[in-house]
Structure 1
Amino acid sequence: MTTAFAANPTTSGLPTLPSGWPIASYDTYEQAQRAVDHLADNDFPVQDVTIVGVEPMVVERVAARLTWGRVLGAAAASGAWFGLFVGLLLTMFTPGAGLLPILIGLVAGVGSSMIFAAISYAATRGKRDFVSHSQLVARRYDVLCLPRNAEQGRQLLYSLV
């Protein structure tokens, strides 16, 4: 039995190739997004539109050099927050405990986090001594439209220029 959900490739959840005719091409995703927004503002049926990133690539931007100080400092800060949280929970559920559970949680969180970070950083043996952020980008972004409205979409985007 075939349902409308399974028959429609855009709602089936499975990867499908884009369809439609190219009506515009842009250097950035922001420009393509602005173009589709322009179409929507002009009552264009944007459900017929697809933005396709052509020639995708992974770009890794290096943010900082990793040092022992930076690694252990970040681990201490992260461990302090977790330890403080555990200490507060212990204080809430232990009547008359005072500040001792908070202090124990804080020290244990900082200490254990620094130990694990040191072991992890030492295991890399200097092979990745930097912090970076990766993102998926494309060389260009094409705006595709189903053939039934492609010419109208092309004209609306041409008026945007």
Structure 2
Amino acid sequence: MTVASYPDYPSAQYTVDFLSDNQFPVERAAIVGTDLTLVETVLGRMTTARAALAGAATGAWFGLFIGLLFGIFTVGNWWAVILVGLAIGAVWGAIFGAIAHAMTGGRRDFTSASSLRANQYAVTVDATFADQARQLIGRMNWQGGQRPAGATG
């Protein structure tokens, strides 16, 4: 059952934290975001050089991992084995990154980060604990003395 509803996540989080501080069984609670919106934030332009650089970084990590695996079984200069693995991984990663970007034909020449945002956050609890949660929430003191605008419960 919904015992409170808020326009922002920090308010819902504050409520659940308050319930926890007052010995409420918070494993019976959930914060449910509704009216979801996908937001894709454009971070910058993607060029072939930038794609090659990103590929080189990924390839270097993979090459380092392979170099470490081979280095474990090397008797002698195992640092050289690790560095060669890192270098080969970086080169191949750069090549594959540049080729992959060129194959898109300019259809997606930007980088971005996606996130989901909710317009409303409901604090829900099992029906058997709803009255207890409502009583505790009624005694809650908000930071700054003000309930968030649009809060219910």
Which amino acid in 1 is paired with 2:62? F
What CA RMSD, in Å, does the superposition of the two structures yield over aligned residues?
2.5
TM-score by length of 2: 0.74
Deviation of residue 134 (structure 1)?
1.6
SS of residue paired to 1:111? helix
Query: Residue 26 of structure 1 corresponds to which residue in structure 2?
Result: 6
SS of residue paired to 1:77? helix
Contact 2:52 2:97 (8 Å CA) reproduced: yes
Q: Does 1:134 align with 2:114?
A: yes
Find the aligned partners of 2:6 and 2:116 in 1 and give their Cα distance: 16
Q: Does 1:60 align with 2:40?
A: yes
Q: Does 1:143 align with 2:136?
A: no
Deviation of residue 44 (structure 1)?
2.5
TM-score by length of 1: 0.71
State the aligned residue count.
141
Deviation of residue 47 (structure 1)?
4.2
Query: Residue 11 of structure 1 corresponds to which residue in structure 2?
Result: none
- Return the match for 1:121 from 101, 105, 109: 101
Find the aligned partners of 1:48 and 1:97 in 2 and give their Cα distance: 57
Find the aligned partners of 1:51 and 1:62 in 2 and give their Cα distance: 28
SS of residue paired to 1:125? coil
Which amino acid in 1 is paired with 2:53? G
Deviation of residue 35 (structure 1)?
0.2
Gaps in structure 1 of 5+ consecutive residues? 1-19
Query: Residue 133 of structure 2 corresponds to which residue in structure 1?
Result: 153
